[in-house]
Amino acid sequence: MTTSICVLGYGAVGQALVKKLKSYEGYNNKFRLHCIHVTNASADKYENLTTIVQHEVSGNLRVLADGTEGTESQTPFSNDLKWLLESQGHNIVVDCMSFNNQSTNLIFDLIKKKNSFHYMLACKDRVKNHWKELIELVKTNGGRISFNSIVAGDESEWSNIYLDQDNYHLYGDNPDLYLSRNSNPEKVVEVIYRDIMIQHAQELGQARKEEELRGSGEPCGLNDTFSWKDLD
């Protein structure tokens, strides 16, 4: 069971997340990067990270140079919005983009496309201003959404609460939720990484259950558990 991840944005948080994912020993087995989407894939600051390949839609699709990161797998690195919206196969979308109307509308459009299952938002301003709309879209179109990385940093009352569409209405209007907590890209990535591992374990448990049911013919609900060693 391989969990496929789409990373939106390649600033400090996006770069730190990609580096951590690709340095994991189980990369390509437990999870893989489906794509990295940026606003402008041809910007000079990406020249030392990418090589150009042709793409049938825009001719401006690139791949992340993986040679120094211990894997032969190439990751599509693109600013092709049409390709992103039409592509399928990413179980998780991680929002590492800056807050503006363009990036917010992109999140809305991705949820409406129903091509992904779980959305993880790291942009505190986007969550603060649009959490009600985001939750409503997910409930209407299917999938899950979580906001745990917005409280990354120093320990707080929010640190041990899993913030998602099921409970965020209890906390979303509390201004304390959006305070600065001495966070940095590495601390944000630690929270995102933990959530990715949890999501992978849940998907693995569900896949195993479905496989067992297909083999045994037993009714659903006999065994929902998975081994926590799968998080290692």
Show the domains of the chain with their CATH numbers. 3-231 (3.40.50.720)
Q: What is the pLDDT of residue 215?
A: 62
What kind and span of H or E run contains 83? helix 81-86
Q: Are 96 and 14 in contact (CB under 8 A)?
A: yes
pLDDT band at 44 (very low <50, low <70, confident <90, very high): low
* Residue 218: pLDDT over 50: no
pLDDT at position 153? 93
CA distances from 4 to 1, 13, 37 (A): 10, 18, 14
pLDDT mean over 111-130: 93
CA atoms of 174 and 178, how far apart (whole Å): 8
pLDDT of residue 100: 92
Across the range 28-39, mean pLDDT stands at 82
Contact 51, 65 (CB under 8 A): yes
DSSP state for residue 80 in the 8-state scheme? -
Edge-to-edge strand ranges of the sheet holding 92-95: 50-52, 61-64, 75-78, 31-37, 3-8, 92-95, 118-121, 144-146
Helix axes 12-23, 185-216, angle to 10 degrees: 50
Look at residue 117 in the predicted model and tell me its pLDDT: 87
pLDDT bin (cut points 50, 70, 90) of residue 141 is very high
- Mean pLDDT of the 114-125 span: 91
CB 79 within 8 Å of CB 37: yes
User: Is the confidence at residue 139, as pLDDT, over 90?
Assistant: yes
Q: Is 128 helix (H, G, I), strand (E, B) or coil?
A: helix
Nearest to 91 by CA among 51, 57, 119, 52: 119
Residue 4 has pLDDT above 60, yes or no: yes
Using one digit for the tens of pLDDT, what is the confidence trace for 64-119?
Answer: 544 334 344 567 777 777 778 877 767 899 999 999 999 999 999 999 988 888 99
Q: Quote the mean pLDDT of the chain.
A: 78
Give pLDDT tens digits for 170-206.
Answer: 999 999 999 999 999 999 999 999 999 998 888 777 7
Burial class (CB in 10 A: 0-12, 13-18, 19+), 58: middle
Residues facing 52 on adjacent strands:
62
